[in-house]
């Protein structure tokens, strides 16, 4: 079956491409999700107008992505996590954590665009890639810091070894 892609489909093609796919894949996945049109003569004529609109939309999306890169590049995200003595984290910093931290700073980035091979599980500075568009990738610095252990001052430490005399016990002995 030949279909005309209306959207970019991973491992298949880009918007406007005419591709040959298995009948079941086209009929059960691409067509119901409005990702593609069946490649008929009428649809092939419509595809030309779609290609020009797609080219304009693609250019504007790329410009927006490049503007977002300029805003994201100087950004430094800090995460404080509990860690062991060797610098290994008890938890980890995932793409969901990075996306939520970016959201608190006013940047809406889908967590799937954050290219983190595996979660960050150690202390230190990392550079995380965020793929915003086909050829546009931003690199954000991520700092993972150790959580400070609460220190108790020496004056407040209770001493269990020194017995405290109770006044009621002395009063009974005095009578």
| Model-wide pTM > 0.75 | no
pLDDT number for residue 155: 53
74-125 residue pLDDT tens? 999 999 999 988 889 988 999 999 999 999 999 999 988 999 989 999 999 9
User: At residue 126, does pLDDT exceed 80?
Assistant: yes
Q: How buried is residue 5: exposed, middle or buried, by Cβ count under 10 Å (0-12/13-18/19+)? A: buried
**Into how many domains does the chain fold?**
2
pLDDT tens track for 10-38? 899 887 788 999 999 999 999 999 999 89
Report pLDDT for 130.
Answer: 93
Mean pLDDT, rounded, for 117-142: 91
Asked whether residue 56 falls in the same domain as residue 14, the answer is yes
Q: Find tokens 């119901």 and name the residue.
A: 32
Name the domain boundary from 15, 32, 61: 61
Compute the distance between CA of residue 133 and CA of residue 173 in angstroms, rounded to an integer.
Answer: 86
Side-chain-side CA neighbours of residue 126 (13 Å): 24
Q: Are residues 133 and 92 in the same domain?
A: yes
- What is the span of the domain harbouring residue 111? 73-146
Q: Are 75 and 105 in contact (CB under 8 A)?
A: yes
167, part of any domain: no
Given this model, what pLDDT does residue 159 score? 52
Q: If you count them, how many residues does the chain have?
A: 175
Q: How confident is the model at residue 144 (pLDDT cuts 50, 70, 90)?
A: very high
pLDDT at residue 156, rounded to an integer: 55
In a domain, 82, yes or no: yes
- Residue 127's pLDDT is 93
């Amino acid at each position: 079956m030949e279909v005309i892609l209306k959207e970019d489909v991973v491992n298949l093609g880009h918007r406007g491409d005419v591709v040959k796919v298995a009948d079941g894949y086209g009929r059960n996945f691409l067509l119901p999700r409005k990702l593609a049109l069946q490649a008929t003569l009428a649809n092939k004529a419509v595809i030309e107008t779609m290609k020009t609109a797609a080219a304009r939309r693609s250019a504007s999306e790329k410009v927006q992505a490049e503007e977002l890169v300029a805003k994201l590049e100087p950004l430094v995200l800090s995460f404080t996590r509990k860690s062991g003595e060797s610098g290994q984290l008890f938890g980890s910093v995932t793409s969901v954590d990075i996306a939520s931290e970016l959201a608190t700073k006013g940047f809406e980035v889908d967590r799937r665009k954050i290219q983190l091979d595996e979660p960050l599980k150690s202390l230190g500075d990392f550079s995380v890639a965020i793929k915003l568009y086909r050829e546009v990738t931003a690199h954000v610095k991520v700092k993972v810091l150790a959580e400070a252990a609460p220190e108790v001052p020496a004056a407040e430490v209770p001493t269990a070894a020194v017995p405290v005399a109770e006044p009621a016990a002395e009063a009974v002995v005095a009578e």
